[in-house]
A and B are shown apart, each in its own frame.
Chain A
Amino acid sequence: MSDAPHKKQVYLFGTCLIDMFYPQAGLDAIALLELSGYEVIYPQAQTCCGQPPYNSGFKQPALKIAKQTIQLFSTKDIPLIVPSASCAGMIKHHYPKIFTQNSQEAEQAKQLAQRTFELIDFIADKLPYNQQPLHPPIKITLHESCSALREMNVANTWRHVLNKLNHIEVVYPENRQECCGFGGTFSVKSDAISAVMTQDKCQNLLNTGGKYILSGDCGCLMNIGEHLKFEGKKDPCLHLASFLVEYFGLSHEQ
């Protein structure tokens, strides 16, 4: 792609999980955004959205991190793209509530919330569906994360995008709307319950017989994948962005 000066810009918030454990998902998110005609700005000063302490009851550290993140992504008035429904939900739905109502911070948070999008939702109508490469038929399993289903309400879009692809059969696990058992610190604090939920989810996912387990949330994928590995099974988890990159035959520089 050429870097035309008039190209529209977006920010990417890579998320801390992708940064440390799944950078490929981040690179693939960028590849898809570029394919959709955007120039991606990745500020090096980004860290975490603050959701882990926020959900665990520790509002103060979350608030300070939120403030820092809002400032970082407010230099330019451009969309903020997040390759995770969960972290996108934190910025879009919780940042505006975390500060005192009507304060300057709350206003800034609201502005950022308005231009924050989950990755797949943002590119869903911009992908080159009419230039699909030839593929042998494949069956894939979609894990709709809780944040995608409910807080961000983008699971429908995930389904639509996959259904537009040729020769792809999308299958879903039994109790598809049920949590995989991750829930951030829930997986450690309520480990016994979390373990059972994870086992059930993994069994239901495996029963579908899909080649990959796809989702747009690396938290769920980490929980599912690491459990399957623990069981001595292969980890078929893949971020939706990575699957789409592979599907459209894109490559990216390493």
Chain B
Amino acid sequence: MSSNFSTRIKQALADPQLRSNFRGAMDFLRNKRQLAFSDEDEWETLKKQGAAIRQDAIQHLPELLMQLEQQCLNNGIQVHWAQDGEEANNIVLSIAQQHQAKLVIKGKSMATEEIELNDFLGRHNIECIESDMGEYIVQLDNEKPSHIIMPAIHKNTAQITELFEKKLGISTPEGDVDALIGVGRTILRKKFEQAEIGISGVNFAIADSGTLCLVENEGNGRLSTTAPPVHIALMGIEKVIPNIQALPTLQKLLTRSATGQHITSYLNLISSPRKPDELDGPKEVHLILLDNGRAKISQDQELQSTLSCIRCGACMNHCPVYTRIGGHAYGSTYPGPIGQILTPQLKGLEQEGELLDACSLNGACGEACPVDIDLPELIRTLRHRRQATDTKTLSLESFVWFIWFKIHQHPRLYQFMTRLAALFRSLKLKAPENWSKTRTMPKPAKLSLHQQMKTRSKSKSGGEK
């Protein structure tokens, strides 16, 4: 591995604070999830149901999206289609300009991270404030989220205390998490009052009723979508589900997998803007349906299950690589196993294919996935495709595997090579540096199993040629 990814990995591994923050947090989240799914049969049943709902939705994506659009329009929600991030950003901008908005408050949304909405609005002199506590912390430090559920998980309490002191000039008692949250709350309350527009993501969009579901714990999602006069929701087109009957299964799988909670503090179901006889709620609700490469994935039989993802983060919590290097090292909006399969599909294998190397195919992510996405198999498939398309960077490796193939294709040559290795077993041959930095070189046996079995079959005539 070369390049920036490898540099970022080395930097992450060399940071003991970062490593212990991630190890601690991932162990904690894994345990919580395990307790939430203590009944193995229930887990299997829920997983099967959830996987079926998601697969079915991806198979019927065009119809469901048309239905969703129609139902939203019937409910008074304005619907916009965006082919890519640029289109989505411009739609948000034009709505903001219509309302002469200068301040936007945002609930947690990975889709807005994907299209880099904050930066875009900033360039047009519109301030976009994150209202999720983790996102707020990350934004304050000019960083990106390092986890899709816990954006600031790479920081511990002491680091956040220091950050608040430095950036906000407010000091809080050491280790006092409640005081830190209090600071955030006080600042953000004012922003909720002042913001002309609230932006949110969407966890699930119910096609047959035109309802947007938002799963959250802090209440900032509810405030972002109800306090400002205009609400804009941005969703990847794969988030659609057929009906409300599908929701309980997915909600259970999502919250238990993400945080080990049976239900979150808030489950928002948004079905329309404020109605004439209502006292509160936004006067306008907009839904932006973002493609950004998803439609193409949905048509690829081998890879379409990528879109089943409900963004719970369990795959990264269970990934031994993510646990070691954290989210920033991946350099992509979505880190960990789901990011490793999604990013190269959204941005191209040539550009992002390297992400696929950082996986030992241990299978822990696939085992934890609540909608049964076979993540290791998708990583393997994408590695195959990368090799087939990207001949430039992989040429040396291609050569190695060509030689490997020639040896293993011919049993006699293979046996000869094994004997040769045995013959020179006492020579201290130089192992590949990448192996020998932390390991000694395995020594070939004096007599291979093949040789010993040959002798054995001669004396016993029990073997075969």
Contact = CB atoms under 8 A, between A and B. Distances in A.
Given A20-B445, A21-B444, A150-B363, A61 B386 contact: no
A193 B445 contact: no
A54 to B, nearest CB: 7
A190 interface: yes
Interface residues of B, number: 70
A21 B443 contact: yes
Interface string A1-29: 00100000000001010111111101100
B350 to A, nearest CB: 14
A56 to B, nearest CB: 7
B361 A65 contact: no
A37 interface: no
A45 interface: yes
Interface string A30-57: 0000000001111111111010111111
A19 B387 contact: no
Given A20-B421, A150-B366, A191-B437, A44 B401 contact: no
Chain B contact residues, majority secondary structure: helix
Interface stretch (A102-110, A124-132, A179-187, A238-246): A179-187
B418 to A, nearest CB: 5
Interface residues of A, number: 70
Nearest to B23: A200
A45 B450 CA distance: 9
A183 B360 contact: yes
Interface stretch (B57-65, B169-177, B451-459): B451-459
A19 B448 contact: yes
Interface in A224-254: 226-227, 229-230, 253-254
Contacts of B415: 44
Contacts of A192: 6, 9-10, 13
Label chain A's interface by main secondary structure: helix
A64 B404 CA distance: 12
B387 A190 contact: no
B363 A44 contact: no
A64 B442 contact: no
B184 interface: no
A20 B444 contact: yes
B363 A48 contact: no
Contact of A188 (B362, B402, B432, B453): B432
B359 A186 contact: yes
B320 A178 contact: yes
Interface stretch (B89-97, B100-108, B264-272, B406-414): B406-414
Given A150-B366, A227-B439, A65 B384 contact: no
A191 B435 contact: yes
B1 A190 contact: yes
Q: Name which of B407, B447, B463, B465 has the most chain A CB atoms within 10 A of its CB.
A: B463
Given A20-B444, A21-B444, A48-B408, A179 B383 contact: no
Nearest to B358: A190
Contacts of B366: 150
A14 B439 CA distance: 24
A222 B443 CA distance: 10
B283 interface: no
Given A14-B449, A191-B437, A46 B411 contact: yes
B142 interface: no
Contacts of A19: 418, 448-450
10 contacts: A42-B463, A57-B380, A58-B387, A61-B408, A179-B360, A186-B359, A191-B435, A191-B437, A193-B325, A194-B360
Given A42-B457, A45-B465, A50-B408, 14 more contacts: A3-B462, A19-B449, A20-B448, A21-B442, A41-B464, A55-B361, A57-B387, A58-B384, A58-B387, A178-B320, A183-B362, A192-B6, A195-B438, A254-B452
Q: Which 8 A-B pairs have the closest CB atoms?
A: A183-B360, A57-B383, A179-B362, A191-B434, A61-B405, A23-B449, A226-B439, A57-B387
